[in-house]
Amino acid sequence: MGIFDRMCADGHEQLIFCSDPAAGLRALIGIHDTTLGPALGGCRMWNYDDEAAAVLDALRLAAGMTAKSAVSGCSYGGGKAVIWGDPKTDKTEHLFRSFGRFVESLRGRFITGTDVGTTYDDFVWAAQETRWLVALPESYGGSGDSSLITAFGVWKGMRACAEAVWGDPELAGRTVAVQGAGKVGTHLVEHLHSEGCRLIVADIDPQRVQGLVERLGVEAVAPDEIYDVECDIFAPCALGGILNGDTIPRLRCRVVAGSANNQLADLRYADLLHERGILYAPDYVINAGGLIQVVDELEGFNKERAYRKAGAIADALRRIFQVSAEQGITPLAAAEELVRTRIDRLGRQKRIHLTTPREGRR
């Protein structure tokens, strides 16, 4: 499918290519739907196989942010940026300042911050070129690392999943297989460890896993073996597209609940999970904690309030699971209906034109 065909099919408004060879910058900014407000979404840095993979990721991630904002009750649209490069070797001040200038050129139509492969220190550089940033370090006037609250929200959401499946939100004694030990995955493991879970962890970076083995006593498995682990909950906390026709039949769990965006390679795979009796927590619902934090930051950050809102992710999932059960549809279909309803209603909201008299006229 061509770029314009895909944008039309999925309702995207804009895709911006950003190139600065002198800075080594190759980036894309995807803006999906701004019915609810300006596009808000993080900036991912990843060494994509090719241009098509970068484009697809930008578009899918932007669409996910629209859904995440809508279902979380936020007044922002969906957007996402991706920088095509190796986050371990290609980061420079020049690159992020160049990226910041492209963000500034959109004049607030797109607001961004950290994501996979980027940290708030990277955006301290970008902040010299643009004001449209969130989740900067607290010392720079931001709300700090959003991975902490994202992990908190996923943990609370897992408890809602446990309640739906086993009738009890307690996770003590449950086995959780965590795919990905990055920023969010590590914090999630810490929460689950504190509750007494048995934890099995995999990551493409073995040093990350080894650190958790030594510090918390988790069990380690190879990245491709995580799908075959017998567990209560499978938690995807790495990249998207990992739930597909090959991996879903391998799962030996009752719940899929994790922080990764776009976990389903295609939306139809929600049906396959449902048919197998596996409860799926829609990713853009359970991982909305980071969005909740930065929206609160834009309104005047209050940490206690942000965490309280993130804790309500569990309530949102309970409503979705209830609708799913009552209507005999998948949790994803129930969540999608909530998203469509809110966007449609606010999109039809009557607009009242307010005229400001010219200065000096009476």
Structural fold of domain 3-63+73-140: Rossmann fold (3.40.50)
Which one is the CATH code of 147-343: 1.10.1200.10, 3.90.950.10, 3.40.50.300, 3.40.50.720? 3.40.50.720
Q: In a 10 Å sphere around its CB, with 0-12 CB exposed, 13-18 middle and 19+ buried, how is residue 216 labelled?
A: middle
**147-343 has the same fold as 3-63+73-140:** yes
**In the chain, where the domains are located:** 3-63+73-140, 147-343
Q: What is the structure's pLDDT at 260?
A: 95
Alpha carbons 284 and 335: distance in angstroms, whole number? 9
List, in order, residues 6 or more apart from 203 with CB less than 8 Å away.
179, 180, 181, 182, 185, 209, 223, 238
Alpha carbons 257 and 286: distance in angstroms, whole number? 7
Point out the residues that are catalytic: 80
Q: What is the pLDDT along the chain (362 residues), one digit of tens a residue?
A: 899 999 999 999 999 999 999 999 999 999 999 999 999 999 999 999 999 999 999 999 999 999 999 999 999 999 999 999 999 999 999 999 999 999 999 999 999 999 989 998 999 999 999 999 999 999 998 998 899 999 999 999 999 999 999 999 999 999 999 999 999 999 999 999 999 999 999 999 999 999 999 999 999 999 999 999 999 999 999 988 999 999 999 999 999 999 999 999 999 999 999 999 999 999 999 999 999 999 999 989 999 999 999 999 999 999 999 999 999 999 999 999 999 999 998 887 766 666 665 554 44
What does 306-335 look like in DSSP terms, one character per residue? HHHHHHTHHHHHHHHHHHHHHHT--HHHHH
